[in-house]
Amino acid sequence: MKSTQWDSFQLFLQVARLGGLTGASAASGLSPATIGRRMLDLEQEIGRALFSRSQTGYRLTADGQIFLDHLREMEAAARKVDLWRQAGGTGLTVRIAAGTWVAWLMAENFGAIRMPGDDFAISLTIGEARANLNYREIDIGIRAFQPEESNLAARLLGEVAYAVYVRRNSGEQEERWLAVGEEDAISNYLKWPHLNAAGSIVATVNRPRSLPDLVRAGAGKAVLPCFVGDLDPELQRLGPELPELRHQQWIVMNNEDRHRTEIRRVADRMTKLLKSYADLFAGKRPSRS
């Protein structure tokens, strides 16, 4: 169900559920100004005032609440169509959204996520943007904070630590920085070099996955999750953990879908896998044989 109108409906749902433009901006990746304009356009198109606007946020009017109820019914119907379509085709698909490094870890351990005999496929969406489960375009997401949305269920997996890494035995005075380009630096650890060492960045990439390759090649130093840098025998930490970047990690599902057999099974397996790496995620260095 992809259309300009449905996209506007989805934005409305975000504003309604998150209480304003700031939360909707974080969820959608659009600017607050763009979302505000889209909501004005939607109200003009519908011919009814949907929000009462104030400095404290957006509150639904009576018409806005009615519209929200209608859209919830549309969401549920669209999801049923998706499930019906999947069941009648090649089988069910469990859709997962994860950041670069959790997705990497899952790919390295894919046999622990989908096992022989499973009657469902896995669709993995990789990116640094916040996993959006409001419209059920994703079944399971990984987030760096507990969700605010009341329709989402979450499990705490632990904490993630970050540090600066250089090529092993390259010396302790490396001054060249490597970074993801500023326009693609969505996560806090990707923003860190731009905020703290902008004048020393010698190379940028558009995907975090290339940063360890550049560090390994001796091109400079980069901020990486500790579970990535510490597992690479060719890299070593340069200095202590960056405590300001430490955050929690949550697995998130839609409340109404989390009891579906295939989603629950995959979520349980993901939880087991990621918790088995909890010490590494939290910055505890692995023992070297």
- Please compute the mean of the pLDDT values over residues 23-33 and round it to a whole number: 80
Q: Nearest CA to 225 among 253, 260, 197, 249?
A: 249
CATH of domain 4-83: 1.10.10.10
Give the chain's largest Cα–Cα span: 69
> Options 1.10.150.120, 3.40.50.620, 3.40.190.10, 3.30.420.40; which CATH number does 90-160+247-281 get?
3.40.190.10
User: Does the pLDDT value for residue 172 go beyond 90?
Assistant: no
Domain 162-245 has CATH 3.40.50.2300: no
- Please compute the mean of the pLDDT values over residues 93-118 and round it to a whole number: 94
- Can you say whether residue 112 is alpha, beta or left, with left for phi > 0 and alpha for psi between -120 and 50 degrees? alpha
- Asked whether the beta carbons of 254 and 136 are under 8 A apart, the reply is yes
User: Does the pLDDT value for residue 9 go beyond 50?
Assistant: yes
pLDDT value of position 127: 81
Q: Extract the tokens encoding 72.
A: 């919830």
- DSSP code per residue over 4-44: HHHHHHHHHHHHHHHTSHHHHHHHHS--HHHHHHHHHHHHH
- Please compute the mean of the pLDDT values over residues 6-32 and round it to a whole number: 83
Q: Where are the domains of the chain?
A: 4-83, 90-160+247-281, 162-245
Question: Global pTM?
Answer: 0.69
What does residue 235 show for φ and ψ, rounded to 5 degrees?
Answer: -115, 155
CB-based contacts of 26: which residues, under 8 Å, 6+ apart?
Answer: 18, 130
Separation in Å, CA 29 to CA 100, 115, 221, 285: 17, 34, 29, 34
| Stronger pLDDT, 256 or 228, i.e. the higher one | 228
User: Does the pLDDT value for residue 174 go beyond 70?
Assistant: yes
pLDDT tens column, 108-119: 999 999 999 998
For residue 129, the SS3 value is coil
- Please compute the mean of the pLDDT values over residues 16-35 and round it to a whole number: 82
pLDDT tens column, 56-68: 788 899 999 999 9
Check if 4-83 and 90-160+247-281 are the same fold: no
- Asked whether the beta carbons of 100 and 207 are under 8 A apart, the reply is yes
CB-based contacts of 215: which residues, under 8 Å, 6+ apart?
Answer: 165, 166, 167, 178, 221, 222, 224, 235
Residue 2: pLDDT band (50, 70, 90) is: very low
pLDDT tens column, 240-249: 999 999 999 9
pLDDT value of position 280: 96
- Asked whether the beta carbons of 232 and 212 are under 8 A apart, the reply is yes
Nearest-angstrom CA–CA distance, 242 and 120: 40
C-alpha torsion angle, residues 219, 222, 226, 229 (rounded to 10): -10
